[in-house]
Structure 1
């Protein structure tokens, strides 16, 4: 991965963006893609980068990755300045005690920790019990409610403090790869398409959507706005090359072995075949999974927007999803970009995606 692209990825995952509070990350996305595309933002906070193609009756192609991440939100501050919170998206209560967090308050970021009774003071039966999220609390060091309320207020979003770190090889860890990895790929595709000398035969819309983790909301509204003929959603998927994940349920998926191309009812068969054949032709490594149901991604709502959209998924293998230490391979991101750029050059006629 080129240095400038890694710097963009680092800034994107560092920017806080719990669902409903995505604009710090969206500002990073906008700043990066405005050099390559015509950029607009809607009332939901979805960001669109558009590159006009050439020719008559051009298909509209929409790429989408969601910028929002899981997080927390202040619900209550007690008399001693301890902060009680709720989950934004699917937060695992097993993992939160002992985490350092950042409250993104109006007056600036405030550091805190999610406290817990020391193990020495626990009854034996409580040591194996998961404390519910609504019983956990954040300590920002305030001694009273009044002191805490000078710094934060009810409704402020909270993220885990973890940032991007390099592991061995091209593997990296961070919070928020679900699904800023997707927004990253969308931005990189726009950059590469704009840099190419030959215009595409499609109008290309690259979207960084919002509020996916709380109901696919930005994907729903952005699909309606763009009204695409063809759509590719870029998401993350469960890697099964860690010791405690069952391959029989999720397929054989490894990080570093290429992006994933799912098949199933959510996926247009012609578009899937085009992605798979292009990967083979270009010698781009890919992996395959089956999803015999709605996918639970923006591809789901894109497919059934208006009169229907020829939809596919390109997914990035990810370990430890919805934790502060998600792990992926940079080569999988690069290969996802390479595959989508190659496929875009082959799309010329929207009628070809009608199953026969």
Structure 2
């Protein structure tokens, strides 16, 4: 991966963006994409990067990845200065105790830790019980409610205090790959299209959407605004090559084996076929999964926006989803960018995607 792209990925992941509080990450996306596309933003916070087509009456294609991540929100400050919190998105209560966190306030970032009773003081039966999120608390070092209130207020968002780190080979770990990996791919496709000498046969709009983790909100409003003829959602998907995941649930999906192309009711068969054929032509490794229902992604709401959109999903294999240590392959990210970019140049007529 080129140095500038890796730096962008690092900055995007470092920026806090729990659902409803995405603007630090959206500013990173906006500043990067603004170098090679026309950028705009809507009232919900979705950011759009647009590149015009080379002629009139060309199909409009929307790419979307969501910038929001799971997180926490301060709900109550007790008399001793401890902060109680709720989940933003699907937070696993098994994982939170003992974590370092950052509280993002109007005055800046405040570090804290999620406390845990020492194992020495726990009854044997309690050691086998998961402490509910509403019973967990954050310690910022304050000795009283007044001290805590001088630093933090109810409603402040909280993120896990980890960022991008390299593992062996092309593997990297971070919080927030779900789905800043998607926003990254959208931005890189826009960059590569802008840098190419070939005329673009579509009108392209790349979107970094918001509030996906709490109900596909940004995907709904951005698709309504863009009015695409075709849409490709870039998401992450569960790897099944780790020891504790059953392949019967999500198919045979491995890290570093290429992006995933799902099939199912949410996926336009002609757009799926074009992506799969492009992968074969360009010798891009891909994996296939089946989703026999509506997907829990922005592709779901994009497909049924207005009069309907020919929609597809390109997914990045991910281990340990919704944890602070999500792991993916940088090569899978690059292959996703290459696949989508090559596919865009093969789109001719929106009528080709009407089922016959």
- Could you tell me how far 1:55 is from its partner in structure 2? 1.8
1:102 aligns with: 102
Q: Secondary structure at the residue paired with 2:4?
A: helix
Write the distance in 2 (CA, Å) between the matches of 1:151 and 1:170. 40
* Map 1:270-285 → 2, pairs under 5 A: 270-285=270-285
2:124 aligns with: 124
1:11 aligns with: 11
- Could you tell me how far 1:197 is from its partner in structure 2? 1.2
* Map 1:225-236 → 2, pairs under 5 A: 225-236=225-236
- Could you tell me how far 1:198 is from its partner in structure 2? 1.9
Write the distance in 1 (CA, Å) between the matches of 2:239 and 2:202. 33
Write the distance in 2 (CA, Å) between the matches of 1:101 and 1:262. 35
Query: Does residue 65 of the first structure (1) align with residue 75 of the second (2)?
Result: no
Write the distance in 2 (CA, Å) between the matches of 1:188 and 1:28. 13
TM-score of the two chains, using structure 1 as the length reference: 1.00
Write the distance in 1 (CA, Å) between the matches of 2:171 and 2:178. 15
Write the distance in 2 (CA, Å) between the matches of 1:82 and 1:290. 46
- Could you tell me how far 1:85 is from its partner in structure 2? 0.1
Write the distance in 2 (CA, Å) between the matches of 1:321 and 1:308. 30
Q: Secondary structure at the residue paired with 2:316?
A: strand
1:141 aligns with: 141
Q: Deviations over 1:49-90 (max 9, x none)?
A: 000011221110000000000000000000000000000000
* Map 1:145-160 → 2, pairs under 5 A: 145-160=145-160
Q: Deviations over 1:26-55 (max 9, x none)?
A: 000000000110000000000000000112
Write the distance in 1 (CA, Å) between the matches of 2:148 and 2:284. 53
What is the number of residues matched between the two proteins?
Answer: 356
1:288 aligns with: 288
Aligned-residue Cα RMSD (Å) equals 0.4
Q: Which runs of 4+ in 1 moved over 3 A?
A: none
- Could you tell me how far 1:331 is from its partner in structure 2? 0.2
Q: Secondary structure at the residue paired with 1:127?
A: helix
Write the distance in 2 (CA, Å) between the matches of 1:175 and 1:98. 16
1:349 aligns with: 349
- Could you tell me how far 1:348 is from its partner in structure 2? 1.8
* Map 1:1-356 → 2, pairs under 5 A: 1-356=1-356
Q: Secondary structure at the residue paired with 1:255?
A: coil
Q: Secondary structure at the residue paired with 2:258?
A: coil
Write the distance in 1 (CA, Å) between the matches of 2:36 and 2:275. 24
Write the distance in 1 (CA, Å) between the matches of 2:278 and 2:151. 53
Q: Secondary structure at the residue paired with 1:124?
A: coil
Write the distance in 1 (CA, Å) between the matches of 2:163 and 2:197. 36
Write the distance in 2 (CA, Å) between the matches of 1:255 and 1:42. 35
Write the distance in 1 (CA, Å) between the matches of 2:136 and 2:297. 30
Q: Deviations over 1:183-237 (max 9, x none)?
A: 0000000000000112211110000000000000000000000000000000000
Write the distance in 2 (CA, Å) between the matches of 1:133 and 1:15. 24
Q: Secondary structure at the residue paired with 1:211?
A: coil
